[in-house]
A and B are shown apart, each in its own frame.
Chain A
Amino acid sequence: TQLLEQSPQFLSIQEGENLTVYCNSSSVFSSLQWYRQEPGEGPVLLVTVVTGGEVKKLKRLTFQFGDARKDSSLHITAAQPGDTGLYLCAGSGYALNFGKGTSLLVTP
């Protein structure tokens, strides 16, 4: 099993702050996905990164895939309370290998 380590595990910030969440592995992935999960719901796909060094932007969210395709980061600019949730990264394989997630709380 290819392990994905996410950090930090928990993050509590105020509205308007910036933050970065990390996803690291010793394994190479052909692609990596980021999901957000809200309480009582299943994960929802935010983005898939495929190419080493790739950067994708989704409004205030910026995703980067490491050059060696072993790590990824998610940067949120000017966080809003609506960004609150569990952020999960998942590497592709014969199954999706998920990290344990970063629980983000954004307070007004």
Chain B
Amino acid sequence: KAGVTQTPRYLIKTRGQQVTLSCSPISGHRSVSWYQQTPGQGLQFLFEYFSETQRNKGNFPGRFSGRQFSNSRSEMNVSTLELGDSALYLCASSLGGLQGSGTQYFGPGTRLTVL
């Protein structure tokens, strides 16, 4: 069974631009969660989608948004990029989501650099 895939793996943008990241979960998984990982703050929860509905949201500004499609693939969008948005963005999929007891499987991440 294929694992979680994220595209692109690397991305360089400039301040003020917007970016869209994509995550394809493991087949059959209905939950996709997104995390931001930086050296200073570690892994921080952005949001979770389950069956196309946002179920939980972390403490990030409204510039960070996401959506999930009927095939469970998810996209995350960041608008008006700031230097501080440079990070590794990870998505994780699971069968039952964060409120269930299922294991979270992480993708390799997208490394975003904002210049």
Binding site for B on A (CB under 8 A): 1, 31, 35, 40-45, 48, 88, 90, 92, 94-101
Q: A41-B108, A42-B4 are in contact. Are A98 and B43 (CB under 8 A)?
A: yes
B99 A94 Cβ-Cβ under 8 A: yes
B107 located at the interface, meaning its Cβ lies under 8 Å from any Cβ of chain A in the complex: yes
* Cα distance A48–B94 in the bound complex, in angstroms: 15
Count of B residues near A, CB < 8 Å? 24
- Determine the main DSSP class of A at the interface with B: loop
Q: Which of A94, A99, A101 has the most CB of B within 10 A?
A: A94
**A-B contact sample (14 more), CB < 8 A, given A95-B98, A100-B41:** A42-B90, A42-B108, A43-B90, A43-B106, A44-B106, A45-B103, A88-B43, A95-B33, A95-B45, A95-B58, A97-B45, A98-B42, A100-B42, A101-B43
Q: How many A-B residue pairs have CB under 8 A?
A: 50
Binding site for A on B (CB under 8 A): 4, 33, 35, 41-45, 48, 56, 58-59, 90, 92, 98-99, 101, 103-109
A96 B45 Cβ-Cβ under 8 A: yes
A-B CB proximity, top 5 nearest: A42-B106, A100-B42, A95-B45, A98-B43, A94-B56
* Cα distance A88–B92 in the bound complex, in angstroms: 15
Residues of B within 8 A of A1 (CB): 59
Residues of A within 8 A of B59 (CB): 1
B108 A40 Cβ-Cβ under 8 A: yes
Residues of A within 8 A of B58 (CB): 95
Chosen A-B contacts, 11 in total, with CB atoms closer than 8 Å, are A1-B59, A41-B109, A42-B108, A42-B109, A43-B43, A45-B104, A45-B105, A92-B98, A96-B33, A96-B35, A96-B104
Residues of B within 8 A of A92 (CB): 98
* Cα distance A45–B106 in the bound complex, in angstroms: 9
* Cα distance A13–B63 in the bound complex, in angstroms: 42
* Cα distance A100–B43 in the bound complex, in angstroms: 7
A95 B106 Cβ-Cβ under 8 A: no
Residue ID in chain B nearest A41 by CB atoms: B108
